[in-house]
Amino acid sequence: MEEKNQVNNIGNKLSEDQLKIAREKKLLAGIFAFFFGGFGVHKFILGYNKEGFITLAITICTCFLGASITGTIALIEGVLYLTKSDEDFYNTYIKGHKGWF
């Protein structure tokens, strides 16, 4: 029965409000991932506070040496955010709450 529900959810179209939210968050999170990704700002924008604090803690606790690692991860995530369609972004990151990659 779960498989049938998953198939039905994939076929559903998003409302204009959901697409607008996805578009705005996708652009904002993608840009902040490029410029401030080492601090986890893009995670906070998406509402992923735990992941944002983990990223921020790695950067600060390593005296900013970890920023190269967290920044690289954020760069990859920023590319993923910006290359997804609005529907895919909404289903994956807003509705699905996928915290990493």
pLDDT per position as a tens digit, 22-58: 999 999 999 999 999 999 999 999 999 999 999 999 9
For the entire predicted model, the pTM comes to 0.82
Segment 91-98 mean pLDDT = 94
Tell me: pLDDT of 6 over 60. no
Share of the chain above pLDDT 90, in %: 83
Q: With 0-12 CB in 10 A as exposed, 13-18 as middle and 19+ as buried, what is 75? A: middle
Distance separating alpha carbons of residues 70 and 74, to the nearest angstrom = 6
Residues in the chain: 101
Task: Tell me the pLDDT band of 12, cut-offs 50, 70 and 90.
Answer: confident
